[in-house]
Chains A and B, each alone.
Chain A
Amino acid sequence: MYFVLFIAVLFTVRDGVLGDVYFRRDVLFSADAWRSLLKGFWINIQVFLWAEGIVLVWALVVAIVRLLPHRACAPIRLVATAYCDLFRALPAVLVILIINFGFQRARLPLLENFSTMQYAIMALALVYGAYVAEVYRAGIDSIHPSQTSAARSLGLTYAQTMRHVVVPQAVRRVVPPLLNDFIGLQKDTALIFSIGIFELLSRARFINNAQATFTGYTMAAMLFFIITIPMTRFVERLQRRDQARMRAG
């Protein structure tokens, strides 16, 4: 409703000059433009999927390390905490620039033969890993200690207790905040245009420059809408189904 109103305003203010800027029909209905943008968007989606996959596992590892109980684990607990603090403090775009250009130049062993895209994935995974680790940690903390007592009293080790009892419940509980972060990650894939990857945003800019319009941005925005909004709904449904199953047996 508001969206329609917004469009209406765009088309009426100053004789619809805004409509011309953002919704120029020859660009909006150009198959070539869409083809190019979709090609770019496919790169975003790939980066997103890889980064998300890495984040889901990596963040859980970080969260578990941060919660290791024994005093002997203090040093690596500290490393994990420092990682979270550091990467949550930095703008994602800065991390992308640092990792891409720095690692390329420095020729780090093991890390030198990566493509720009792989550096981009690595950077996004590191940034979002720090956020998601905190989400996991909150989820694990929210599981009542009596669950741990029950599992340990049956002879399960600490690791088995985490693996079979605590983490599965924690993950279910943090699905909504996880989703939040993933929508964020999905959108932040646009930041990789800063290291010269010819993805959606770069292509939108290219179209804008060639056609002297901003319609390319509108089209890019539409593509983001199309993917993120259904994703939200989908995960909500998964969650409801899971709850229904636990309740209804």
Chain B
Amino acid sequence: MAFLEIRDVHKRFGSNEVLRGVDLDVDPHQLVCLIGASGSGKSTLLRCINALEDIDAGVIRLGGERVSGRGVDVNLLRQDVGIVFQSFNLFPHMTVLRNVTLAPTKVLDRPTVMAEERAMQLLRRIGLEEKAQEYPDRLSGGQQQRVAIVRALAMEPQLLLLDEITSALDPELVAEVLNIVRQLAEEGMTMVIATHEMGFAREVATKVCFLHEGVVHEEGPPEQVFGQPREERTQAFLRRITEAGRL
């Protein structure tokens, strides 16, 4: 049984059905990359996994336990599942350090000293310890996104969701963020990543899923999906990406 199981998940916004029966399995220590055009449902799927959106049908299980639908303690679920957003969403009225320690102190009731020590460790790892007392808008986009990743990691999640975390960054800042993801992958963090960075997906993914119109159209190891895509839609998508010089 997979660590994360997604079965026949449907999600609609008004008359727009964004997810039309998604199935996906993620094993521990896997790094799954979701690729697909904008609007194919990648972000929505991630938000559903984290219960930021309610699903209309289907079931999501984490470690064998149902985490979607009624009667689920979403706060408990979210302690195990971290998410990092495209637009960073740091809290602008708090220092970098406070951004990182807020959830551990309030949700896990960690003593402030402990939480700060741990936060400084994490910040040191990403080379931002000297920014600990700064406010987010003094940081570059890449630095903000690294802090956002650390903020999620401070909760020690079992699963990390990354929602197009480099899409809002200037090109020269992308590498510093991807390096952290690479590091996390090497350490065995289980991750589901929605991304437009095909080169990166090809390099680090253990599994690539191509989403099209709200369903997983094709999935497999990156060599197969990128090398010999079976489905016509996947081929067309990758052709467009290649033409744009992004692969």
**Does A113 belong to the interface (CB within 8 Å)?**
no
Q: Is the CB of A156 within 8 A of B89?
A: no
Q: Is the CB of B107 within 8 A of A147?
A: no
Stretch at the interface among A11-19, A39-47, A96-104, A162-170: A162-170
Tally of A-B Cβ pairs under 8 angstroms: 73
Return B204 CB to nearest CB of chain A, in Å.
Answer: 23
Chain A residues with Cβ below 8 Å from B61 are none
Separation of A154 and B153 alpha carbons in the complex (Å): 10
Stretch at the interface among A59-67, A217-225, A240-248: A240-248
Interface string of A223-249 (1 = CB under 8 A from B): 000000000000000000000011111
**Does B151 belong to the interface (CB within 8 Å)?**
yes
Q: Give the bracket for the number of chain B residues in contact with chain A.
A: 20 to 34
Q: Give the bracket for the number of chain A residues in contact with chain B.
A: 20 to 34
Interface SS of chain A: helix, strand, loop or mixed? helix
Q: Is the CB of A146 within 8 A of B135?
A: no
Q: Is the CB of A155 within 8 A of B137?
A: no
**Does A7 belong to the interface (CB within 8 Å)?**
no
Return B70 CB to nearest CB of chain A, in Å.
Answer: 13
Q: Is the CB of B82 within 8 A of A153?
A: yes
Separation of A160 and B79 alpha carbons in the complex (Å): 14
Q: Is the CB of A149 within 8 A of B106?
A: no
**Does A57 belong to the interface (CB within 8 Å)?**
no
Task: Assess A249 versus B135: contact at CB under 8 Å? Given A155-B103, A164-B102.
Answer: yes
Q: Is the CB of B93 within 8 A of A155?
A: no
Task: Assess A245 versus B75: contact at CB under 8 Å? Given A154-B82, A154-B152, A165-B91.
Answer: no
Separation of A169 and B90 alpha carbons in the complex (Å): 12
Separation of A169 and B94 alpha carbons in the complex (Å): 10
**Does A86 belong to the interface (CB within 8 Å)?**
no
Of residues 171 through 207 on chain A, the ones whose CB sits less than 8 Å from some CB of chain B are 172
Task: Assess A153 versus B107: contact at CB under 8 Å? Given A146-B85, A246-B93.
Answer: no
Of residues 148 through 172 on chain B, the ones whose CB sits less than 8 Å from some CB of chain A are 148, 151-152, 155
Q: Is the CB of A246 within 8 A of B52?
A: no
Chain A residues with Cβ below 8 Å from B81 are 153
Task: Assess A149 versus B138: contact at CB under 8 Å? Given A156-B106, A165-B91.
Answer: no
Q: Is the CB of B107 within 8 A of A160?
A: yes
Task: Assess A249 versus B133: contact at CB under 8 Å? Given A149-B85, A172-B93.
Answer: yes
Q: Which of B90, B93, B151 has the largest count of A CB atoms less than 10 A from its CB?
A: B93
**Does A150 belong to the interface (CB within 8 Å)?**
yes
Chain A residues with Cβ below 8 Å from B75 are 155-157
**Does B83 belong to the interface (CB within 8 Å)?**
yes
Separation of A153 and B89 alpha carbons in the complex (Å): 11
Separation of A249 and B134 alpha carbons in the complex (Å): 5
Task: Assess A246 versus B82: contact at CB under 8 Å? Given A147-B91, A156-B107, A172-B93.
Answer: no
Separation of A243 and B106 alpha carbons in the complex (Å): 26
Closest to A247 in B: B137
Q: Is the CB of B93 within 8 A of A152?
A: no
Separation of A165 and B83 alpha carbons in the complex (Å): 17
Task: Assess A164 versus B106: contact at CB under 8 Å? Given A248-B138, A249-B138.
Answer: yes
Separation of A104 and B151 alpha carbons in the complex (Å): 56
A residues sitting closer than 8 Å to B (CB atoms) are 146-147, 149-157, 160, 164-165, 168-169, 172, 245-249
5 smallest CB-CB distances across A and B, nearest first, come from A150-B89, A154-B103, A249-B134, A155-B107, A155-B79
Besides A149-B47, A249-B135, 14 new A-B residue pairs in contact (Cβ under 8 A), listed by A number: A151-B91, A152-B74, A152-B78, A153-B52, A153-B82, A154-B107, A154-B155, A155-B76, A155-B78, A155-B108, A156-B102, A156-B107, A165-B91, A249-B133
B residues sitting closer than 8 Å to A (CB atoms) are 47, 50, 52, 74-76, 78-79, 81-83, 85, 87, 89-93, 95, 102-103, 106-108, 133-135, 137-138, 148, 151-152, 155
6 contacts across the A-B interface (CB closer than 8 A): A150-B148, A151-B91, A155-B75, A155-B79, A165-B91, A172-B93
